[in-house]
Amino acid sequence: MKFALLNGQRVPEAEARISIFDRSFLYGDGLFETLRVYRGRPFAWAAHWDRLQAGADRLTLRLPVSAEQAWHQALDLLRSNGESEALLRLHVSRGLGRRGYSPAGADQPTWILSTHPAQPQDPAQPTRWRLSTSSWRLPAADPLTSVKSANKLLQVLAKAEAEARDCDEALLLNTTQHVVEGTSSNLFWIDRGVLCTPPLSTGALPGVTRAKVLELARELGIAAEERKIRSHQLPACDGVFLTLSSLELVPAIRLDGQALPESPMTRQLHEAYQAATRSADDH
DSSP 143-199: GGGGS-BS--HHHHHHHHHHHHTT-SEEEEEETTS-EEEESS-EEEEEETTEEEE--
> What's the mean per-residue pLDDT of the chain?
96
Give the separation between CA 234 and CA 240, rounded to whole angstroms: 7
Residues 112 and 137 in one domain: no
- Region 93-115: mean pLDDT is 96
Report if residue 124 sits inside a domain.
no
Report if residue 204 sits inside a domain.
yes
- Answer whether residue 232 shows pLDDT above 70: yes
Give the separation between CA 182 and CA 213, rounded to whole angstroms: 16
Residues 265 and 229 in one domain: yes
Tell which of 94, 117, 140 closes a domain.
117
What percent of the chain stands above pLDDT 70?
99
The model's confidence at residue 166, banded by pLDDT at 50, 70 and 90, is very high
Question: Please, what is the Cα angle at 264 between 263 and 265, to 5 degrees?
Answer: 85
The model's confidence at residue 283, banded by pLDDT at 50, 70 and 90, is low
Is the model more confident about 32 or about 142? 32
- Answer whether residue 280 shows pLDDT above 80: no
- Region 85-114: mean pLDDT is 96
Tell which of 72, 88, 117 closes a domain.
117
- Write the CATH number for 113: 3.30.470.10
- Region 241-248: mean pLDDT is 98
The model's confidence at residue 101, banded by pLDDT at 50, 70 and 90, is very high
- Region 113-117: mean pLDDT is 97
- Domain hosting 146: range is 129-279
How many domains does the structure of the chain reveal? 2
**Among positive and negative, which fits the CA dihedral 217, 221, 222, 225?**
positive
- Answer whether residue 124 shows pLDDT above 70: yes
Residues 162 and 73 in one domain: no
Residues 50 and 150 in one domain: no
Residues 101 and 45 in one domain: yes
Please tell me the predicted confidence (pLDDT) of residue 282.
Answer: 64
Residues 112 and 162 in one domain: no
Residues 10 and 36 in one domain: yes
Residues 154 and 72 in one domain: no
pTM of the predicted structure, to 2 decimals: 0.96
Tell which of 117, 138, 172 closes a domain.
117
Report if residue 122 sits inside a domain.
no
- Answer whether residue 271 shows pLDDT above 80: yes
- Region 56-64: mean pLDDT is 97
- Write the CATH number for 255: 3.20.10.10
pLDDT digits (tens, 9 = 90+) for 186-213: 999 999 999 999 999 999 999 999 999 9
Give the separation between CA 210 and CA 68, rounded to whole angstroms: 24
